[in-house]
Amino acid sequence: MKRIIRWFCLVTLLLSPACGLLVEEGREVVAEVGSDRVRLKDLLSRIRELPFEQRARTNDANELARIQARQFVLRTIVNERLLLKESKARGITVSEEEIDAVFHNEHAMQDPTGGVHVEGRHEGRFQRS
């Protein structure tokens, strides 16, 4: 019986560092918004949610283009968290009806080329190279 316990303890000790690595993966802090931390896993998760064309830019062979695309995604996350913190501090809330109205209006204003008409001007959503 003692032999089984020793074997179990040895296996547990050998595997515990590997388990720690799995737990720590993605926890690297890439930005801070006040006391709120943006972790690598948050950034990678957001990149996976992007449409294909935008996601492809984050893996571009050109290192500068890849870094710029990833920085853009990170800035977006930081800006969202700043807006959320400020809206909470000011007590600003948005109803479900207001959210639905914005989505409905944006969808109605899209044109066939993939751009969006905003206050009388046209802004394309994607730059094509």
Q: What is the 3-state secondary structure (H, E, C) of 3-23?
A: HHHHHHHHHHHHHHHHHHHHH
pLDDT at 126: 37
Q: Which of 46, 43, 34 is nearest to 81 (CA)?
A: 34
Please choose, from the candidates 20, 70, 66, the residue with its C-alpha nearest in 3D space to the C-alpha of residue 43: 70
What pLDDT, on the 0 to 100 scale, is given for residue 13? 52
pLDDT value of position 104: 80
In this structure, what are the phi and psi dihedrals at residue 62, rounded to the nearest 5 degrees? -75, 115
Looking at the domain assignment, is residue 69 inside a domain?
yes
| pLDDT at res. 47 | 94
> Is-contact 38 50, C-beta < 8 A?
no
The tally of domains found in the chain comes to 1
Taking a C-beta distance cutoff of 8 angstroms, is the pair 69, 58 a contact?
yes
Task: Kindly state whether residue 3 falls inside one of the protein's structural domains.
Answer: no
Q: Is residue 71 part of a domain?
A: yes
Concatenated DSSP letters of 93-126: ---HHHHHHHHHHHHHHB-TTSEEEETTEEEESS
Q: Is residue 127 part of a domain?
A: no
Q: What are phi and psi of 121, to 5 degrees?
A: -130, 160
Domain extent, residue 79, equals 29-93
The predicted model scores a pTM of 0.58
The pLDDT profile of the chain, 129 residues, written as one tens digit per residue, is 666 666 555 555 555 454 444 445 557 999 998 888 999 999 999 999 999 999 999 999 999 999 999 999 999 999 999 999 999 999 998 888 988 888 787 766 655 554 444 444 444 443 333
Say if 87 falls within a structural domain: yes
pLDDT at residue number 22: 42
Does residue 80 lie within any of the structural domains?
Answer: yes
